């Protein structure tokens, strides 16, 4: 075999005799040798060896392990898929285990048994090859599961939604997206815009729930200079800014009644007047709106205008909750793991089996947003290669151990139910208390007792 075609093995070892001995032992590989941290790192950068054998005792600390660990961590930060086999002194089991916890693949004890080390190294190469192949496959699979450019799903319920969005994108009808918090309403609205003939023009979003009632009108319709105190210069509203593009009215159920009338007029006549202005300005924009509220119920109660509803909802798209999308919680967890690990903690590689079970069985009241937040926090906090159920702040699956006693069991249930209620109420303490059938002060007390914080939007 040509030297260049051989898989690369880097030996990091400061003992020259041992270097020579090891170099001879590995005929199947292209062997590189480094005797300290700096040259080892240089070689990893330049040659990207699949497997590294690493002596933990390197100069300037040949009798300790500090240099070895620093080298281990730097290599894994540079090339997380490198398989590192560490060599420890006789009886140094503790450093060996610490190395594994830090991401080393395996360890062996000096004095070196060449045959035994040869086996470990060969298995490391095999595993590296399999993992690489897996990653390539997974990336391809990932592509297939990407819809509308940005959404990840493999669930038929969600693929159906995507197909509907793609179909209606081409026609200038108004679209209403109905879905619980965190189900991806905004992402779908953007996907719709990007799939529509208006994609070259602006996507303008306004969250009607986030803007105080008295400012919402100015925000939507704009105002002329001097229209009210503080109106120092003419300002275009969001509707006008969306000319040629798409206007996304988020949380449309929160528009106060008197403004609903004005919005309806715009939808009927397609012209607006800025506050304090007399000129009718024609605006050509595509309307997409979203809400997590039950508008039909609001219509019955008289807090949402039926005529406005029909203008906004020429097409209604119901977005399933994450729990209703079979298999998606795991798929999305993997997606977010790759994404956040790449950005923030490349050491993290996957999940423990208990974490996967917990992800699968958790009801995800805050949907994809909750999953994304938990994953981000877990990746930042994780101090091992695999994310655990605890990192995710989820209890392990059904096989989890029995609590020590009834009191502990009750506490555990209290915690879980309170967390779910908080998530469902989007951290609104009053609503959460109502859901739980207890008073607000009681909920506060319980949260204090269990050290629970509203955490969804963290």
Ligand X SMILES: Nc1ncnc2c1ncn2[C@@H]1O[C@H](COP(=O)(O)OP(=O)(O)OP(=O)(O)O)[C@@H](O)[C@H]1O
Task: Using the minimum distance from each CB to ligand X, give the nearer residue, 183 or 345.
Answer: 183
Of residues 179, 222, 237, 365, which one binds ligand X by CB under 6 A? 179
SS3 198: coil
CA distance readout (Å), 354 to 11, 78, 330, 337, 387: 36, 29, 12, 16, 9
Interactions with ligand X, residue window 150-169 (CB under 6 A): 151-153
- Give the H or E element holding residue 432: helix 429-436
β-partners of residue 10 are 32, 52
Of residues 14, 36, 186, 236, which one binds Mg ion by CB under 5 A? 186
CA proximity to 49, closest of 81, 97, 89: 81
Task: Using the minimum distance from each CB to Mg ion, give the nearer residue, 30 or 186.
Answer: 186
247, two tokens: 């206007």
Of residues 184, 222, 320, 365, which one binds ligand X by CB under 6 A? 184
Q: Length of the chain, please?
A: 458
- H helices within 3-87, ranges in order? 16-25, 37-47, 66-78
The residue whose Cβ lies closest to Mg ion is 186
What residue 153 binds from Mg ion, ligand X, none (CB within 5 to 8 A, per partner kind)?
A: ligand X
Which part of the chain contacts Mg ion (CB under 5 A), choosing from 17-25, 183-191, 311-319, 382-390? 183-191
The residue whose Cβ lies closest to ligand X is 184
**427 touching ligand X, by CB under 6 A:** no
Output the smallest distance, CB 249 to ligand X, in A. 12
Of residues 128, 292, 334, 349, which one binds ligand X by CB under 6 A? 292
What residue 184 binds from Mg ion, ligand X, none (CB within 5 to 8 A, per partner kind)?
A: ligand X
CA proximity to 181, closest of 264, 291, 255: 291
CA proximity to 457, closest of 345, 339, 372: 372
Interactions with Mg ion, residue window 113-142 (CB under 5 A): none
Q: Which residue has the tokens 């281990």?
A: 72
Distance CA 181, CA 391 (A): 23
**320 touching ligand X, by CB under 6 A:** no
Which part of the chain contacts ligand X (CB under 6 A), choosing from 15-23, 147-155, 294-302, 414-422? 147-155
231, two tokens: 């109106």
Q: Which residues bind Mg ion (CB under 5 A)?
A: 186
Q: Give the residues lining the site for ligand X (CB under 6 A).
A: 151-153, 179, 181-187, 292, 332, 368-369, 372
């Amino acid at each position: 075999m040509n030297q260049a075609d051989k898989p690369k093995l880097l030996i990091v070892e400061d003992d020259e005799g041992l270097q020579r001995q090891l170099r001879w032992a590995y005929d199947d590989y292209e062997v590189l040798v480094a005797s300290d941290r700096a040259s080892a790192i240089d070689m990893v950068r330049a040659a990207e060896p699949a497997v590294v054998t690493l002596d933990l005792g390197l100069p300037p600390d040949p009798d300790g392990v500090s240099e070895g660990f620093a080298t281990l961590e730097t290599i894994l930060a540079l090339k997380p898929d490198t398989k590192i086999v560490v060599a420890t002194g006789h009886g140094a089991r503790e450093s060996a285990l610490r190395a594994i916890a830090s991401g080393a693949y395996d360890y062996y004890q000096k004095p070196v048994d060449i045959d035994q080390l040869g086996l470990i190294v060969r298995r490391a190469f095999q595993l590296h090859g399999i993992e690489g192949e897996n990653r390539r496959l997974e990336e391809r699979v990932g592509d297939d599961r990407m819809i509308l450019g940005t959404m990840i799903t493999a669930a038929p319920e969600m693929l159906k939604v995507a197909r509907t969005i793609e179909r209606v994108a081409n026609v200038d009808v108004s679209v209403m997206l109905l879905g619980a918090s965190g189900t991806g309403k905004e992402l779908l609205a953007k996907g719709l815009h990007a799939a529509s003939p208006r994609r070259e023009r602006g996507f303008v979003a306004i969250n009607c729930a986030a803007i105080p009632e008295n400012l919402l009108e100015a925000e939507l319709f704009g105002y002329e200079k001097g229209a009210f105190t503080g109106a120092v210069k003419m300002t275009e509203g969001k509707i006008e800014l969306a000319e040629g593009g798409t206007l996304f009215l988020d949380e449309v159920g929160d528009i106060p009644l008197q403004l609903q009338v004005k919005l309806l007029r715009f939808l009927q006549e397609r012209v607006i007047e800025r506050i304090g202005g007399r000129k009718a300005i024609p605006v050509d924009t595509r309307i997409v709106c979203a809400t997590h509220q039950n508008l039909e119920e609001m219509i019955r109660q008289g807090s949402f205008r039926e005529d406005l509803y029909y203008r906004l909802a020429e097409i209604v798209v119901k977005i399933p909750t994450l729990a209703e999308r079979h298999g998606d919680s795991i798929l999305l967890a993997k997606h977010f793991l790759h994404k956040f690990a790449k950005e923030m903690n490349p050491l993290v590689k996957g999940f423990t089996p208990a974490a996967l079970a917990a992800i699968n069985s958790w009801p995800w009241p805050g949907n994809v947003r909750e999953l994304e937040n938990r994953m981000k926090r877990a990746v930042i906090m994780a101090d091992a290669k695999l994310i655990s159920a605890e990192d995710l702040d989820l209890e392990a699956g059904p096989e989890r151990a029995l609590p020590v006693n009834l009191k502990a069991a009750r506490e555990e249930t209290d915690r879980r139910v309170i967390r779910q209620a908080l998530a469902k109420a989007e951290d609104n303490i009053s609503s959460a208390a109502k859901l739980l059938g207890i008073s607000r002060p009681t909920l506060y007390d319980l949260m204090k007792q269990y050290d629970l914080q509203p955490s969804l939007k963290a």
